[in-house]
Amino acid sequence: MRKLLASLAITMGAVGTAHAQADLQADADAAAGRELAQTCAACHGQQGISAVGTFPNLAGQQMSYLAKQIMDIRDGNRVVPQMAGLVDNFSDQDAWDAAAHFAGQDANLGQTSDEDAELRARG
């Protein structure tokens, strides 16, 4: 009986957390996220497309993925020394807002030169 009650409590807690995250995602404000993302532009580019291969492109990424990464870095679940202190004060809503901003940007699709016609044809 204890195991049943414990598993029920864990399930209810997980469902409650999922609902809270879904509410934050639904309320995500890309305009507010644009303001929060000004610091991010130094490494990830103004539009979320990094000029340096060391830093990932954020533009066009899935909002839930980006928000999770921001919160994981903030909470110490993902260690990224280059981001130390940058998202420490982000609330969950801030993470969703910044994620909404970058998710709404056009993804970097890469490019080839005119000499690579065969490569472009293969996709």
Q: What is residue 103's three-state secondary structure?
A: helix
Residue 95 CA to residue 86 CA, distance in Å, equals: 12
What is the domain class of 28-108 according to CATH?
mainly alpha
Which region holds residue 90: left if phi is over 0, alpha if psi is between -120 and 50, else beta? beta
10-31 per-position pLDDT tens digit = 766 655 555 456 677 889 999 9
Q: State both tokens at 111.
A: 């490019």
Q: Which of 5, 103, 29 is nearest to 59 (CA)?
A: 103
User: Is residue 9 over pLDDT 70?
Assistant: no
Residue 94 CA to residue 2 CA, distance in Å, equals: 39
With a CB cutoff of 8 Å and minimum separation 6, the contacts of 56 are 44, 50
39-95 per-position pLDDT tens digit = 999 999 999 999 998 999 999 999 999 999 999 999 999 999 999 899 999 999 999
Tell me the domain boundaries of the chain. Answer: 28-108
Residue with tokens 């699709």: 109
Which region holds residue 97: left if phi is over 0, alpha if psi is between -120 and 50, else beta? alpha
Q: Tell me the pTM.
A: 0.72
| Per-residue model confidence (pLDDT) at position 116 | 73
